[in-house]
Structure 1
Protein backbone atom coordinates (compact mmCIF):
# COMPACT_ATOMS: atom_id res chain seq x y z
CA UNK A 1 0.00 0.00 0.00
CA UNK A 2 1.33 3.43 -0.92
CA UNK A 3 2.20 5.90 1.81
CA UNK A 4 -0.23 8.68 2.61
CA UNK A 5 0.94 11.43 0.28
CA UNK A 6 -0.37 15.01 0.31
CA UNK A 7 0.07 17.56 -2.50
CA UNK A 8 -0.05 21.16 -1.19
CA UNK A 9 -0.32 24.30 -3.30
CA UNK A 10 0.77 27.59 -1.80
CA UNK A 11 3.13 25.53 0.32
CA UNK A 12 6.04 27.93 0.77
CA UNK A 13 4.69 29.90 3.75
CA UNK A 14 1.73 30.47 6.04
CA UNK A 15 -1.03 27.87 6.10
CA UNK A 16 0.56 25.70 3.44
CA UNK A 17 3.92 25.44 5.20
CA UNK A 18 2.28 24.86 8.60
CA UNK A 19 0.18 22.08 7.10
CA UNK A 20 3.25 20.46 5.58
CA UNK A 21 5.03 20.43 8.94
CA UNK A 22 2.02 19.02 10.77
CA UNK A 23 1.32 16.41 8.10
CA UNK A 24 4.89 15.11 8.16
CA UNK A 25 4.74 14.93 11.97
CA UNK A 26 1.63 12.75 11.59
CA UNK A 27 3.23 10.34 9.15
CA UNK A 28 2.38 11.86 5.79
CA UNK A 29 4.65 12.34 2.79
CA UNK A 30 4.20 15.80 1.24
CA UNK A 31 4.71 17.45 -2.12
CA UNK A 32 5.26 21.19 -1.75
CA UNK A 33 4.12 23.31 -4.70
CA UNK A 34 4.70 27.08 -4.94
CA UNK A 35 6.57 29.60 -7.07
CA UNK A 36 9.26 30.34 -4.43
CA UNK A 37 11.76 27.55 -5.05
CA UNK A 38 14.19 28.85 -2.41
CA UNK A 39 11.50 28.80 0.30
CA UNK A 40 10.44 25.30 -0.70
CA UNK A 41 14.03 24.07 -0.54
CA UNK A 42 14.42 25.53 2.96
CA UNK A 43 11.21 23.86 4.07
CA UNK A 44 12.25 20.51 2.64
CA UNK A 45 15.61 20.79 4.39
CA UNK A 46 13.76 20.96 7.70
CA UNK A 47 11.28 18.20 6.86
CA UNK A 48 13.72 15.68 5.43
CA UNK A 49 13.03 12.86 2.99
CA UNK A 50 9.28 12.87 3.62
CA UNK A 51 9.00 16.11 1.63
CA UNK A 52 9.54 16.93 -2.03
CA UNK A 53 9.91 20.46 -3.43
CA UNK A 54 7.82 21.04 -6.55
CA UNK A 55 8.34 24.61 -7.80
CA UNK A 56 5.59 25.85 -10.09
CA UNK A 57 2.78 28.28 -10.79
CA UNK A 58 -0.70 27.23 -9.58
CA UNK A 59 -2.37 29.19 -12.40
CA UNK A 60 -0.80 26.84 -14.96
CA UNK A 61 -2.58 23.52 -15.49
CA UNK A 62 0.46 21.90 -17.08
CA UNK A 63 2.71 22.83 -14.15
CA UNK A 64 0.28 21.39 -11.60
CA UNK A 65 -0.07 18.24 -13.71
CA UNK A 66 3.68 17.80 -13.95
CA UNK A 67 4.11 18.35 -10.20
CA UNK A 68 1.44 15.83 -9.19
CA UNK A 69 2.78 13.20 -11.58
CA UNK A 70 6.31 13.78 -10.27
CA UNK A 71 5.06 13.43 -6.69
CA UNK A 72 3.27 10.18 -7.52
CA UNK A 73 6.38 8.79 -9.20
CA UNK A 74 8.53 9.76 -6.19
CA UNK A 75 6.33 8.43 -3.37
CA UNK A 76 4.17 5.86 -5.17
CA UNK A 77 0.84 7.70 -5.33
CA UNK A 78 -0.99 10.91 -4.43
CA UNK A 79 -3.72 10.19 -1.90
CA UNK A 80 -4.67 13.73 -0.84
CA UNK A 81 -4.34 17.31 -2.02
CA UNK A 82 -4.70 20.71 -0.40
CA UNK A 83 -5.67 23.43 -2.89
CA UNK A 84 -4.44 26.26 -0.72
CA UNK A 85 -2.83 28.77 -3.11
CA UNK A 86 -4.65 32.08 -3.21
CA UNK A 87 -4.33 35.83 -2.76
CA UNK A 88 -6.32 38.98 -2.10
CA UNK A 89 -7.15 41.90 -4.36
CA UNK A 90 -4.89 44.94 -4.54
CA UNK A 91 -7.84 47.32 -4.12
CA UNK A 92 -11.21 46.75 -2.48
CA UNK A 93 -14.53 47.15 -4.25
CA UNK A 94 -15.74 47.43 -7.82
CA UNK A 95 -15.18 51.12 -8.43
CA UNK A 96 -11.58 51.13 -7.22
CA UNK A 97 -10.71 47.62 -8.38
CA UNK A 98 -8.31 47.07 -11.27
CA UNK A 99 -9.48 44.75 -14.09
CA UNK A 100 -6.03 43.26 -14.62
CA UNK A 101 -5.78 42.53 -10.91
CA UNK A 102 -9.20 40.86 -10.98
CA UNK A 103 -8.07 38.63 -13.82
CA UNK A 104 -4.96 37.62 -11.88
CA UNK A 105 -7.07 37.03 -8.77
CA UNK A 106 -9.51 34.78 -10.63
CA UNK A 107 -6.66 32.93 -12.34
CA UNK A 108 -5.27 31.88 -8.96
CA UNK A 109 -8.26 31.72 -6.60
CA UNK A 110 -10.64 30.11 -9.09
CA UNK A 111 -8.74 28.54 -11.97
CA UNK A 112 -5.89 27.39 -9.74
CA UNK A 113 -8.38 25.45 -7.62
CA UNK A 114 -9.96 23.95 -10.73
CA UNK A 115 -6.55 22.86 -11.97
CA UNK A 116 -5.74 21.12 -8.69
CA UNK A 117 -9.05 19.26 -8.74
CA UNK A 118 -8.55 18.31 -12.39
CA UNK A 119 -5.07 16.85 -11.96
CA UNK A 120 -5.77 14.86 -8.80
CA UNK A 121 -9.18 13.51 -9.87
CA UNK A 122 -7.77 10.53 -11.86
CA UNK A 123 -5.69 9.50 -8.85
CA UNK A 124 -8.59 9.81 -6.44
CA UNK A 125 -10.91 7.86 -8.72
CA UNK A 126 -8.57 4.91 -8.16
CA UNK A 127 -7.47 5.40 -4.54
CA UNK A 128 -10.49 7.08 -2.88
CA UNK A 129 -8.40 10.14 -2.07
CA UNK A 130 -9.25 13.39 -0.34
CA UNK A 131 -9.21 16.97 -1.66
CA UNK A 132 -9.08 19.91 0.76
CA UNK A 133 -9.86 23.44 -0.48
CA UNK A 134 -9.04 26.68 1.31
CA UNK A 135 -12.25 28.67 1.45
CA UNK A 136 -12.84 31.59 3.79
CA UNK A 137 -15.27 33.21 6.14
CA UNK A 138 -15.44 35.73 3.27
CA UNK A 139 -17.00 32.95 1.19
CA UNK A 140 -19.86 32.55 3.65
CA UNK A 141 -20.97 36.18 3.87
CA UNK A 142 -21.43 39.21 1.65
CA UNK A 143 -18.67 41.83 1.85
CA UNK A 144 -19.36 45.12 0.13
CA UNK A 145 -17.97 45.04 -3.41
CA UNK A 146 -15.38 42.37 -2.63
CA UNK A 147 -14.19 40.44 -5.66
CA UNK A 148 -11.91 38.40 -3.38
CA UNK A 149 -14.95 37.35 -1.36
CA UNK A 150 -16.71 36.33 -4.57
CA UNK A 151 -13.81 34.04 -5.51
CA UNK A 152 -14.19 32.33 -2.16
CA UNK A 153 -17.93 31.96 -2.73
CA UNK A 154 -16.90 30.05 -5.84
CA UNK A 155 -14.62 27.79 -3.79
CA UNK A 156 -17.41 26.99 -1.33
CA UNK A 157 -19.93 26.29 -4.08
CA UNK A 158 -17.51 24.21 -6.10
CA UNK A 159 -16.46 22.22 -3.04
CA UNK A 160 -20.04 21.09 -2.49
CA UNK A 161 -20.50 20.19 -6.14
CA UNK A 162 -17.17 18.38 -6.21
CA UNK A 163 -17.97 16.43 -3.05
CA UNK A 164 -20.98 14.86 -4.75
CA UNK A 165 -18.92 14.02 -7.83
CA UNK A 166 -16.01 12.52 -5.88
CA UNK A 167 -18.38 10.61 -3.61
CA UNK A 168 -19.20 8.31 -6.53
CA UNK A 169 -15.62 7.02 -6.32
CA UNK A 170 -15.44 6.90 -2.53
CA UNK A 171 -13.30 10.05 -2.50
CA UNK A 172 -13.89 13.00 -0.17
CA UNK A 173 -13.84 16.80 -0.44
CA UNK A 174 -13.55 19.31 2.42
CA UNK A 175 -13.56 23.09 2.39
CA UNK A 176 -11.68 24.80 5.24
CA UNK A 177 -13.18 28.22 5.97
CA UNK A 178 -11.02 30.37 8.25
CA UNK A 179 -11.67 33.84 9.50
CA UNK A 180 -8.71 36.19 9.78
CA UNK A 181 -5.38 34.36 10.09
CA UNK A 182 -2.06 35.93 11.06
CA UNK A 183 -0.14 35.07 7.86
CA UNK A 184 1.90 36.92 5.19
CA UNK A 185 -1.44 37.35 3.36
CA UNK A 186 -1.73 40.60 5.34
CA UNK A 187 0.75 43.46 5.22
CA UNK A 188 0.61 43.96 8.99
CA UNK A 189 0.78 41.29 11.70
CA UNK A 190 -2.49 40.16 13.31
CA UNK A 191 -1.19 38.60 16.53
CA UNK A 192 -4.61 38.33 18.17
CA UNK A 193 -6.10 36.35 15.27
CA UNK A 194 -5.89 32.71 14.22
CA UNK A 195 -2.50 31.13 13.53
CA UNK A 196 -1.52 29.03 10.53
CA UNK A 197 -1.21 26.05 12.83
CA UNK A 198 -4.89 26.37 13.76
CA UNK A 199 -5.85 25.91 10.13
CA UNK A 200 -3.32 23.13 9.61
CA UNK A 201 -4.82 21.18 12.50
CA UNK A 202 -8.23 21.47 10.87
CA UNK A 203 -6.83 20.12 7.60
CA UNK A 204 -5.33 17.13 9.40
CA UNK A 205 -8.56 16.61 11.37
CA UNK A 206 -10.46 16.23 8.10
CA UNK A 207 -7.78 14.08 6.45
CA UNK A 208 -7.52 11.70 9.40
CA UNK A 209 -11.28 11.21 9.85
CA UNK A 210 -12.55 7.65 9.57
CA UNK A 211 -13.27 6.62 5.96
CA UNK A 212 -17.00 6.47 6.77
CA UNK A 213 -17.00 10.18 7.68
CA UNK A 214 -17.00 12.88 5.01
CA UNK A 215 -16.26 16.21 6.66
CA UNK A 216 -17.61 18.65 4.08
CA UNK A 217 -16.69 21.93 5.83
CA UNK A 218 -14.66 23.21 8.77
CA UNK A 219 -15.51 26.83 9.69
CA UNK A 220 -12.98 28.46 12.05
CA UNK A 221 -13.24 31.93 13.53
CA UNK A 222 -10.89 33.76 15.91
CA UNK A 223 -12.18 34.38 19.41
CA UNK A 224 -11.19 38.05 19.18
Structure 2
Protein backbone atom coordinates (compact mmCIF):
# COMPACT_ATOMS: atom_id res chain seq x y z
CA UNK A 1 0.00 0.00 0.00
CA UNK A 2 1.67 3.18 -1.23
CA UNK A 3 1.69 6.44 0.69
CA UNK A 4 3.09 9.66 -0.70
CA UNK A 5 5.06 12.20 1.32
CA UNK A 6 3.73 15.47 2.66
CA UNK A 7 5.86 17.29 0.12
CA UNK A 8 4.18 15.29 -2.67
CA UNK A 9 0.74 16.05 -1.23
CA UNK A 10 1.70 19.74 -1.19
CA UNK A 11 2.72 19.51 -4.85
CA UNK A 12 -0.63 17.94 -5.71
CA UNK A 13 -2.51 20.76 -3.98
CA UNK A 14 -0.37 23.43 -5.65
CA UNK A 15 -1.23 21.96 -9.06
CA UNK A 16 -4.95 22.46 -8.36
CA UNK A 17 -4.79 26.14 -7.40
CA UNK A 18 -5.88 28.30 -10.35
CA UNK A 19 -4.17 31.36 -11.76
CA UNK A 20 -5.16 34.56 -9.95
CA UNK A 21 -6.41 32.84 -6.79
CA UNK A 22 -6.16 34.41 -3.34
CA UNK A 23 -5.15 31.63 -0.96
CA UNK A 24 -4.52 31.18 2.76
CA UNK A 25 -2.27 28.30 3.85
CA UNK A 26 -3.04 27.10 7.36
CA UNK A 27 -0.47 26.47 10.08
CA UNK A 28 1.59 23.30 9.77
CA UNK A 29 1.81 21.07 6.70
CA UNK A 30 -0.32 23.35 4.45
CA UNK A 31 2.49 25.93 4.44
CA UNK A 32 4.50 23.51 2.27
CA UNK A 33 2.20 24.33 -0.65
CA UNK A 34 3.95 27.70 -1.04
CA UNK A 35 7.13 25.92 -2.14
CA UNK A 36 5.48 24.21 -5.12
CA UNK A 37 3.34 26.85 -6.79
CA UNK A 38 3.99 27.13 -10.55
CA UNK A 39 6.19 30.02 -11.68
CA UNK A 40 4.14 30.76 -14.79
CA UNK A 41 0.95 31.81 -12.99
CA UNK A 42 0.18 34.42 -10.32
CA UNK A 43 -1.22 33.24 -7.00
CA UNK A 44 -1.61 35.59 -4.01
CA UNK A 45 -0.79 33.96 -0.68
CA UNK A 46 -2.34 35.47 2.44
CA UNK A 47 -1.23 34.88 6.00
CA UNK A 48 -3.53 35.89 8.82
CA UNK A 49 -0.91 37.81 10.77
CA UNK A 50 -0.98 40.50 8.08
CA UNK A 51 0.74 39.75 4.78
CA UNK A 52 -0.61 39.39 1.24
CA UNK A 53 1.93 38.33 -1.35
CA UNK A 54 3.81 35.73 0.69
CA UNK A 55 6.41 33.67 -1.16
CA UNK A 56 8.16 30.37 -0.54
CA UNK A 57 10.30 29.56 2.49
CA UNK A 58 13.62 31.45 2.43
CA UNK A 59 16.94 29.78 1.72
CA UNK A 60 19.23 29.18 4.68
CA UNK A 61 21.21 32.29 5.43
CA UNK A 62 18.55 34.57 3.93
CA UNK A 63 16.03 34.48 6.77
CA UNK A 64 14.51 37.78 7.86
CA UNK A 65 13.47 37.31 11.54
CA UNK A 66 10.81 40.00 11.14
CA UNK A 67 9.12 38.23 8.22
CA UNK A 68 7.06 35.27 9.45
CA UNK A 69 3.74 33.57 8.78
CA UNK A 70 0.97 32.86 11.29
CA UNK A 71 2.83 29.74 12.45
CA UNK A 72 5.94 31.83 13.21
CA UNK A 73 7.86 30.21 10.34
CA UNK A 74 10.19 32.42 8.29
CA UNK A 75 8.79 33.32 4.86
CA UNK A 76 9.59 35.55 1.91
CA UNK A 77 7.59 38.42 0.43
CA UNK A 78 7.10 38.73 -3.32
CA UNK A 79 7.43 42.06 -5.16
CA UNK A 80 4.29 44.11 -4.50
CA UNK A 81 3.48 42.35 -1.24
CA UNK A 82 1.36 44.27 1.28
CA UNK A 83 1.49 44.37 5.08
CA UNK A 84 -1.51 45.29 7.20
CA UNK A 85 -3.08 45.15 10.65
CA UNK A 86 -4.23 41.83 12.09
CA UNK A 87 -7.81 43.12 12.23
CA UNK A 88 -7.73 43.97 8.51
CA UNK A 89 -6.40 40.49 7.81
CA UNK A 90 -9.33 38.89 9.62
CA UNK A 91 -11.66 41.20 7.73
CA UNK A 92 -10.32 39.70 4.51
CA UNK A 93 -10.84 36.19 5.87
CA UNK A 94 -14.37 36.80 7.11
CA UNK A 95 -15.45 38.95 4.17
CA UNK A 96 -15.30 36.28 1.47
CA UNK A 97 -12.17 37.68 -0.17
CA UNK A 98 -10.20 34.42 -0.16
CA UNK A 99 -10.78 31.94 -2.96
CA UNK A 100 -9.20 28.96 -1.20
CA UNK A 101 -7.84 28.08 2.20
CA UNK A 102 -5.82 24.94 2.92
CA UNK A 103 -6.21 23.57 6.44
CA UNK A 104 -5.12 20.54 8.44
CA UNK A 105 -7.65 18.27 10.13
CA UNK A 106 -8.33 15.80 12.92
CA UNK A 107 -11.60 14.68 11.30
CA UNK A 108 -13.69 15.45 8.21
CA UNK A 109 -17.25 14.18 7.99
CA UNK A 110 -18.91 12.90 4.83
CA UNK A 111 -21.03 16.07 4.91
CA UNK A 112 -17.95 18.30 4.77
CA UNK A 113 -17.85 19.19 8.47
CA UNK A 114 -14.35 19.97 9.74
CA UNK A 115 -12.76 19.36 13.15
CA UNK A 116 -9.19 20.62 13.33
CA UNK A 117 -8.61 22.62 16.51
CA UNK A 118 -9.09 20.17 19.39
CA UNK A 119 -9.56 16.46 20.02
CA UNK A 120 -11.55 17.30 23.12
CA UNK A 121 -9.13 15.32 25.28
CA UNK A 122 -8.71 16.63 28.86
CA UNK A 123 -5.01 17.35 28.27
CA UNK A 124 -5.48 18.81 24.78
CA UNK A 125 -4.35 22.39 24.21
CA UNK A 126 -7.04 24.24 22.20
CA UNK A 127 -5.53 26.07 19.22
CA UNK A 128 -8.31 27.31 16.99
CA UNK A 129 -6.52 30.46 15.81
CA UNK A 130 -8.23 31.78 12.66
CA UNK A 131 -9.41 28.36 11.46
CA UNK A 132 -13.10 29.06 12.11
CA UNK A 133 -12.89 32.37 10.27
CA UNK A 134 -11.17 30.72 7.32
CA UNK A 135 -13.55 27.76 7.22
CA UNK A 136 -16.58 30.04 7.09
CA UNK A 137 -15.10 32.85 4.98
CA UNK A 138 -13.12 31.17 2.18
CA UNK A 139 -14.97 30.25 -1.00
CA UNK A 140 -13.39 26.79 -0.99
CA UNK A 141 -11.78 24.80 1.83
CA UNK A 142 -9.13 22.25 0.93
CA UNK A 143 -7.86 19.91 3.65
CA UNK A 144 -4.31 18.55 3.73
CA UNK A 145 -3.89 15.62 6.10
CA UNK A 146 -2.84 12.01 6.53
CA UNK A 147 -5.72 9.62 5.86
CA UNK A 148 -5.15 7.85 9.17
CA UNK A 149 -4.47 9.28 12.61
CA UNK A 150 -1.47 8.02 14.61
CA UNK A 151 -3.87 5.66 16.36
CA UNK A 152 -4.73 4.10 13.01
CA UNK A 153 -8.27 5.51 12.89
CA UNK A 154 -9.57 7.12 9.72
CA UNK A 155 -9.80 10.90 9.67
CA UNK A 156 -12.63 10.57 7.17
CA UNK A 157 -15.73 9.76 9.20
CA UNK A 158 -19.49 9.56 8.96
CA UNK A 159 -19.85 12.29 11.60
CA UNK A 160 -17.21 14.23 13.54
CA UNK A 161 -16.83 13.36 17.21
CA UNK A 162 -14.34 16.17 17.93
CA UNK A 163 -15.33 19.83 18.44
CA UNK A 164 -16.24 21.36 15.07
CA UNK A 165 -14.36 24.10 13.29
CA UNK A 166 -16.93 24.50 10.52
CA UNK A 167 -20.11 22.85 9.24
CA UNK A 168 -20.36 21.69 5.62
CA UNK A 169 -17.33 23.79 4.67
CA UNK A 170 -14.86 21.29 3.16
CA UNK A 171 -14.90 20.73 -0.58
CA UNK A 172 -11.80 18.56 -1.12
CA UNK A 173 -9.40 16.47 0.98
CA UNK A 174 -5.80 15.72 -0.02
CA UNK A 175 -4.27 12.77 1.83
CA UNK A 176 -1.20 10.56 1.59
CA UNK A 177 -3.33 7.81 0.00
CA UNK A 178 -5.77 9.63 -2.28
CA UNK A 179 -7.68 12.82 -3.03
CA UNK A 180 -11.36 12.97 -2.12
CA UNK A 181 -14.17 15.35 -3.06
CA UNK A 182 -17.08 15.99 -0.70
CA UNK A 183 -20.37 15.47 -2.54
CA UNK A 184 -24.04 15.35 -1.50
CA UNK A 185 -23.68 11.55 -1.59
CA UNK A 186 -20.57 11.43 0.59
CA UNK A 187 -16.88 11.14 -0.24
CA UNK A 188 -15.91 10.65 -3.87
CA UNK A 189 -12.44 9.37 -4.78
CA UNK A 190 -10.91 11.88 -7.18
CA UNK A 191 -7.37 10.55 -7.48
CA UNK A 192 -5.52 7.47 -6.19
CA UNK A 193 -1.82 7.33 -5.32
CA UNK A 194 0.43 4.34 -5.97
CA UNK A 195 -1.19 0.93 -5.60
CA UNK A 196 -4.15 2.15 -3.54
CA UNK A 197 -7.58 1.04 -4.72
CA UNK A 198 -11.08 2.12 -3.78
CA UNK A 199 -11.54 -1.22 -2.02
CA UNK A 200 -8.41 -0.62 0.09
CA UNK A 201 -9.60 2.88 0.99
CA UNK A 202 -13.04 1.59 1.98
CA UNK A 203 -11.38 -0.92 4.28
CA UNK A 204 -9.17 1.75 5.85
CA UNK A 205 -11.98 4.26 6.35
CA UNK A 206 -14.94 1.93 6.97
CA UNK A 207 -16.94 4.08 4.55
CA UNK A 208 -18.67 3.49 1.24
CA UNK A 209 -16.85 5.70 -1.26
CA UNK A 210 -18.18 7.12 -4.52
CA UNK A 211 -15.99 6.54 -7.56
CA UNK A 212 -16.52 7.23 -11.25
CA UNK A 213 -13.03 7.06 -12.70
CA UNK A 214 -9.97 9.23 -12.19
CA UNK A 215 -9.78 12.79 -13.50
TM-score interval (norm. to shorter): 0.3 to 0.5
TM-score where L is the length of structure 2: 0.41
Higher helix share: 1
Higher strand share: 2
TM-score where L is the length of structure 1: 0.40
